[in-house]
Chain A
Amino acid sequence: GAVVSQHPSWVICKSGTSVKIECRSLDFQATTMFWYRQFPKQSLMLMATSNEGSKATYEQGVEKDKFLINHASLTLSTLTVTSAHPEDSSFYICSASAPPANEKLFFGSGTQLSVL
């Protein structure tokens, strides 16, 4: 199946700093990517839809100024957690649908963010 690469796998940062997470589609072009967040022992929650060349669409309750999404190319979307705080500590996962039919979503391996 199609491969989605996410980097870094884990990151520890100090409170108040910003962290960037990258999501790449390695063997296909993805016009749309999705960012999810998952807290321990909970299910995945969709944060936003990232569209190449346009502004991201955020789910209700997700602060767009807090979670900056950039989808500058057909193979790369980035999520920047700005001024991170301990409550932002979570598992962040990106995904993309692969052509030609875009029937399936392929997921990255996730990024564990720990804010001290």
Chain B
Amino acid sequence: DAKTTQPTSMDCAEGRAANLPCNHSTISGNEYVYWYRQIHSQGPQYIIHGLKNNETNEMASLIITEDRKSSTLILPHATLRDTAVYYCIVRFPVSNDYKLSFGAGTTVTVRA
């Protein structure tokens, strides 16, 4: 699976949009971009995933650049409960050896 690079940490204000960048310059044509988050002392939570097109769900939006070498996760209206470690992962969506490899992620702190 392609390696990803994320900032170590970032702060954002409650109620504002939080934009989390991720670089994945070695991504291959069939690899998807996944985002998970982990709130302290809990298991990771799936947020969103995409291949080429921008995606949106009830939690967030995913913007993938045209060359697919980077992406941005957008939390439209950050709340204090969004404070967590956010992981950007690229991988094939379905395979016989389905597993996720987690990097260090971005520690996001939402401040009132």
Q: Do A and B come from one complex?
A: yes
Please give the residue numbers on chain A whose beta carbons come within 8 Å of chain B beta carbons, in ascending order: 1, 4, 6, 32, 34, 36, 43-46, 49, 91, 93, 95, 97, 101-110, 112
Asked whether B102 lies within 8 Å of A43 as measured between CB atoms, the reply is yes
Interface membership of B104, Cβ < 8 A: yes
Q: Is the interface of B mostly helix, strand, loop or mixed?
A: loop
Asked whether A105 lies within 8 Å of B94 as measured between CB atoms, the reply is no
Q: Provide the bound-state CA to CA distance between A53 and B103, in Å.
A: 31
Is the interface on chain B under 10, 10 to 19, 20 to 34, or 35 or more residues? 20 to 34
A-B contact pairs, 15 of them (CB 8 A): A6-B43, A32-B98, A34-B99, A36-B102, A43-B87, A43-B102, A44-B102, A46-B99, A46-B100, A49-B97, A49-B99, A95-B44, A105-B46, A106-B46, A110-B43
Q: With A43-B102, A44-B102 known to touch, is A102 a contact of B43 (CB < 8 Å)?
A: no
Chain A residues within an 8 Å CB radius of B42: 109-110
Q: Is the interface of A mostly helix, strand, loop or mixed?
A: strand
Q: Provide the bound-state CA to CA distance between A76 and B46, in Å.
A: 21
Q: Provide the bound-state CA to CA distance between A43 and B46, in Å.
A: 16
Asked whether B46 lies within 8 Å of A46 as measured between CB atoms, the reply is no
Asked whether A1 lies within 8 Å of B46 as measured between CB atoms, the reply is yes
Q: With A93-B44, A101-B93, A107-B43 known to touch, is A46 a contact of B49 (CB < 8 Å)?
A: no
Q: Provide the bound-state CA to CA distance between A104 and B46, in Å.
A: 7
